[in-house]
Amino acid sequence: VAKAIFNKYQDRFEGKSFLQNVRKMKLVKLQEQLLFDILKPANATYTKVSCVDEGIHEIKRRLRNRRVLVIVDDIDHMKQFKALAIKYDSFGPGSRIIITTRDQHLLKILKVDMIYKLPAMNREEAFQLLSWHAFRKNYPNEGYFELARKATDYCG
């Protein structure tokens, strides 16, 4: 859902960044990626950050007045959010920050404006999703139908 929103609205912003799998990234690399993604059109050089505090300073200094769309995907700890220096006044007016997480408690701590809880898939939707990831089509290859059905039933 977050990727679809990003793809649909990214052209309306001065800068944009889709930070995927944040839980697996080191904080400094996360900061460098954010800076590179947003500054890329204006400055093709890669911004090297030596420590988290320097990264926070650079984000605040260089992105403060830009209207940006930032998607922070799969955040699992407050330190990741703090390292990105994201606050209400961090970016220019009209900026949008979208956070995806499995931890609802984190969203309460961050005092986000709105929470969208993705509804659970029904049995058929789950089966199709598994089929697309495993077989690159709506239904499993011959001989795998029953196994795929059992897998989706097991997952609930």
Q: How many domains does the chain have?
A: 2
Which tokens go with 72?
């922070």
> Is residue 58 domain-resident?
yes
Question: What CA–CA distances, in Å, run from 135 to 35, 121, 125, 138, 151?
Answer: 37, 19, 15, 8, 14
> Is residue 148 domain-resident?
yes
Per residue of the chain (156 residues), give pLDDT as tens. Answer: 899 999 999 999 999 999 999 999 999 999 999 999 998 866 556 678 899 999 999 999 988 889 999 999 999 998 998 899 887 678 889 999 999 998 888 888 888 888 888 888 888 888 898 999 899 998 898 899 999 989 888 886
- Same domain (yes/no): 19, 65: yes
Strand pairing report for 96-99 and 15-19: unpaired
> Is residue 13 domain-resident?
yes
What is the pTM (predicted TM-score) of this model? 0.76
| Domain around 62 | 2-110
